[in-house]
Amino acid sequence: MLPELTAPFKTLLLAQRASLLEQRAILRGGAVSRAEASAEHFAQPEDSSAQLSTERELEFALDARESAELNQVQAALDRIAAGRYGVCIDCGTDIPAARLHATPEAERCIACQEVAE
């Protein structure tokens, strides 16, 4: 995809990354890791062990999701910088602009994404 065509997608991705980082900071109470933030939360002696276990699993799942989303956004920004944005990583065809507007971090065309899932 030509650099002048990737500019709007880069803007979307940068805004998405900023939003994800801001959301993570708000939920964690700053720039600490989820593990550090949850350590304080799990230090409550009145909670049952089953409740703590469930909450801990939820914290780890949220951390994995946050990390995956940020990694996908960064990978898309890296593809823009390398001049490979908008091209399916599996089949090499152009990803339709409508898909990229809906999901700017998309790395596959719809057909390849369905196979990957």
Instruction: State pTM to two decimals.
Output: 0.75
47 vs 92, higher pLDDT? 92
Cα–Cα distance measured from residue 77 to residue 10, given in angstroms and rounded to the nearest whole number: 7
| Predicted local distance difference test score (pLDDT) of residue 25 | 82
Residue 88 region, left (φ>0) first, then alpha (ψ -120 to 50), else beta?
beta
